[in-house]
Chains A and B, each alone.
Chain A
Amino acid sequence: MSASNDAMRASERQSRTIEEQRQTILELQTPVIQVWDGILALPIVGSVDTARSQEMNEALLQKIVDTGAEIVILDITGVPVIDTAVAKHLLETVSASRLLGADVLIVGLSARMAMTLVHLGLDLSGVLTRTTMAKGLQLAFARLGLEVVHRRGAASVSLATDDLEV
């Protein structure tokens, strides 16, 4: 009797742990970051399946409405493999964002990914792509008419200890 009770309790604990971990993964996987006024970034890490892409979509579209963003940067540096299904999900995100008036850039494409996409016959035509987030940001700034300038002499100021040494 008590042995079966123990077993039940153990399995309950286990299922609770799994549920908690699932929740954590869910929270971790779709952060929509506002990198600048009017620019959102969505770093995608890990594989993209239908459920996940739906959640990403929802979170992203809501954020576009909330912030009035005009440009969205999808960073797929952390996506291990890209296949037809993943590409389809990405294109859905691109199309849906466009319907809300936001332009989408896809950044973080590797040479291998590009080759895969070409071999699959998916050229992502109509979607702007860049290799790195930095290049994507640059393009986004240009679109919004912003410019980043390098000020001479300013580089020596330490960001970390500035406030602490009062």
Chain B
Amino acid sequence: MPRVPVIRVGNVLIASVQEDVNDREATDLQDELLQLLERTGAMGVILDVSLLQLIDSFLGRMLREIAVGARLLGAQTVVVGIQPAVAVTLVELGLELTGVRTALDSEKGLRLLHRLMTHTRAGNWSGNERSRKD
């Protein structure tokens, strides 16, 4: 039984990372998410980290790797709920999570994800998805 539950809603996978997640569980989550993406053909991933009081370099790298891996499987990833103090620490550590999309909470994250997914479906080949307009 995985420690980080992954919920599937429509074509979106939602994972809520628990407060005391360790490196092993984080790697398991990575594996599970990518396998689920492959199996279900989901188009989006929401990673909720609002419970985390600290994101270390390992976890930071893992978030990035999930986003990159998901992109290779044709899915978009949004990390939601980063706490202000966590954001400051991440920047001080030099882990700006470049290439990872972020949103304030899961609601905004879902909205962003839907925008991104329609973008992907419409066949945006440029790979540059900075535009917020649909």
Write the residues of chain A forming the contact surface with B, with a CB cutoff of 8 angstroms. Answer: 54, 57-58, 61-62, 64-65, 68, 70, 92, 95-103, 126, 142-143, 145
Q: A95-B87, A99-B87, A143-B132 provided; 7 other pairs, C-beta below 8 A?
A: A62-B84, A65-B84, A68-B108, A95-B96, A101-B82, A101-B108, A101-B109
A101 and B80 contact, CB distance less than 8 A: yes
Closest to A92 in B: B91
Is B103 on the interface with A (CB-CB < 8 A)? yes
On chain A, the residues within 8 Å of B90 by CB distance are 95-96, 99
**How many of chain B's residues have a CB under 8 angstroms from any CB in A?**
21
Does B97 sit within 8 A of A, measured CB to CB? yes
Q: Which residues of A contact B91 (CB under 8 A)?
A: 92, 95-96, 99
Contact status of A96 and B108, CB under 8 A, knowing A101-B80, A101-B102: no
Which residues on the A side are within 8 Å of B98 (C-beta)? 126
Please tell me if the beta carbons of A102 and B104 are within 8 angstroms of each other in the complex: yes
Chain A residues, CB < 8 A from B109: 101
Q: In the docked arrangement, what's the CA distance between A135 and B97, Å? A: 28
CB distance from B2 to the nearest CB of A (A): 26
3 closest cross-chain pairs (CB), A and B: A61-B84, A101-B103, A99-B87
Q: Are A61 and B87 in contact (CB under 8 A)?
A: yes
Choice from B88, B104, B108, B133 contacting A57 with Cβ under 8 Å: B88
Interchain CB contact (< 8 A) of B102 among A57, A62, A98, A143 = A98
Of residues 53 to 111 in B, which have CB atoms within 8 Å of A's CB atoms?
80, 82, 84, 86-88, 90-92, 96-98, 102-105, 108-109
Once bound together, how far apart are the Cα atoms of A99 and B124, in whole Å? 24
Q: Are A145 and B133 in contact (CB under 8 A)?
A: yes
How distant is B105 from chain A, measured CB to nearest CB, in Å? Answer: 8
Q: Is B108 touching A100 in the complex (CB atoms < 8 A)?
A: no
Indicate if the CB atoms of A99 and B102 lie closer than 8 Å. Answer: yes
Q: Is the CB of A64 within 8 A of B88?
A: no
CA distance A76 to B92 in the complex (A): 22
The answer to whether A64 touches B96, judged by C-beta atoms less than 8 angstroms apart, is: no
Chain A residues in 8 Å Cβ range of B84: 58, 61-62, 64-65, 96, 100
